[in-house]
Amino acid sequence: QVQLVESGGGLVEPGGSLRLSCVASGFSISDSYMSWIRQAPGRGLEWISYISGSSSDTNYADPVKGRFTISRDNAKKSVYLQMNSLRADDTAVYYCARGTRAAAPWGQGTLVTVSS
Amino acid sequence: DVVMTQSPLSLPVTLGQPASISCRSTQGLVYSDGNTYLNWFQQRPGQSPRRLIYKVSNRDSGVPDRFSGSGSGTDFTLKISRVEAEDVGVYYCMQGTHWPWTFGQGTKVEIK
pLDDT tens track for A13-42: 999 999 999 999 999 999 999 999 999 987
pLDDT per position as a tens digit, B25-64: 999 999 999 999 999 999 999 999 999 999 999 999 999 9
Residue percentage of chain A with pLDDT more than 90: 97
**Cβ neighbours of residue A99 closer than 8 Å, sequence gap 6 or more:** A32, A33, A34, A35
Residue type (1 letter), A107: G
In chain A, residues 2-21 whose CB comes closer than 8 Å to chain B: none
Residue A101 pLDDT exceeds 80:
yes
User: How high is the pLDDT of residue A41?
Assistant: 82
Q: CB-based contact (8 Å) between A108 and chain B?
A: yes
Alpha-carbon distance B14 to B5, whole Å? 24
| Phi-psi label, residue B39: left if phi above 0, alpha if psi -120 to 50, beta otherwise | beta
| Least reliable range by pLDDT among A38-47, A87-96, A104-113, B15-24 | A38-47
Alpha-carbon distances of A74 from A28, A83, B63, B73, rounded to whole Å: 9, 20, 30, 37
Confidence of residue A96 (pLDDT cuts 50, 70, 90): very high
> Please, are residues B108 and B90 in contact by the beta-carbon 8 Å criterion?
yes
Confidence of residue A8 (pLDDT cuts 50, 70, 90): very high
Alpha-carbon distance A38 to A49, whole Å? 10
Q: Is A90 exposed, middle or buried (0-12, 13-18, 19+ CB in 10 A)?
A: buried
Alpha-carbon distance B93 to B26, whole Å? 13
Q: Please compute the mean of the pLDDT values over residues A57-63 and round it to a whole number.
A: 97
Residue percentage of chain A with pLDDT more than 70: 100
Q: Which residues pair with B71 in a beta bridge?
A: B76
Alpha-carbon distance A21 to B107, whole Å? 30
Confidence of residue A2 (pLDDT cuts 50, 70, 90): very high
Interface touch B55/A102, C-beta < 8 Å: yes
What sign has the CA pseudo-torsion B87, B90, B91, B94?
Answer: negative
Average pLDDT over chain A, rounded to whole? 96
User: How high is the pLDDT of residue A43?
Assistant: 73
| Phi-psi label, residue A66: left if phi above 0, alpha if psi -120 to 50, beta otherwise | left
Alpha-carbon distance A85 to B35, whole Å? 37
Which residues in chain B have Cβ-Cβ distances shorter than 8 Å to A95?
48-49
Residue A87 pLDDT exceeds 90:
yes
Q: Which of A47, A96, A98 to mutate to test the interface with B (most CBs of B within 10 A)?
A: A47
User: How high is the pLDDT of residue B47?
Assistant: 95
pLDDT per position as a tens digit, B54-92: 999 999 999 999 999 999 999 999 999 999 999 999 999
